[in-house]
């Protein structure tokens, strides 16, 4: 069975469960290859834990510094939409100011 390679994206509380498994009981099934998080301290912490368990340090990627700038959303992409259901039949639903209302 070949070892899978894992890059952990987001090092919040839940990721600890997966990292602990890959550093412990499931060591032979998978290998940590990278960390990605907005908090560099968390990435250092998990790299230190990996070194203590016998792993080599893995690359740490910060999405704020390595991600290309994204285009600004347009007005049309922010428009809320509601899909018609059979109960709505041919009626059209629109959003008026802050509440949903049915248009004729």
In CATH terms, the superfamily for domain 4-66 is NAD(P)-binding Rossmann-like Domain (3.40.50.720)
| Contact partners, residue 4, CB within 8 Å, separation at least 6 | 29, 30, 31
Residue in this structure with the two tokens 């301290």, named with its chain if needed = 41
pTM of the model: 0.58
Residues in the chain: 104
State the average pLDDT over residues 30-41. Answer: 91
Task: Give the list of residues 6+ apart from residue 82 with CB closer than 8 angstroms, or none.
Answer: 93, 95, 100
When pLDDT is cut at 50, 70 and 90, the band that residue 18 belongs to is: very high
Residues 15-25 have a mean pLDDT of 92
- State the residue for tokens 């428009």: 79
36, 9 Cβ separation under 8 angstroms = yes
Q: How much is the mean pLDDT over the chain?
A: 75
Q: What mean pLDDT comes out for the span 50-74?
A: 74
pLDDT category of residue 17 using cuts at 50, 70 and 90: very high
């Amino acid at each position: 069975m070949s070892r899978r390679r894992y890059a952990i994206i987001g090092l919040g509380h839940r990721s600890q469960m997966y990292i602990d498994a890959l550093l412990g009981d499931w060591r032979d099934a998978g290998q940590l290859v990278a960390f990605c998080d907005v908090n560099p301290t968390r990435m250092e912490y998990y790299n230190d834990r990996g070194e203590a368990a016998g792993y080599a340090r893995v690359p740490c990627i910060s999405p704020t510094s390595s991600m290309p700038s994204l285009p600004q959303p347009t007005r049309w992409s922010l428009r809320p939409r509601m899909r018609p259901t059979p109960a709505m039949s041919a009626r059209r639903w629109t959003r008026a100011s802050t509440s949903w209302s049915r248009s004729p």
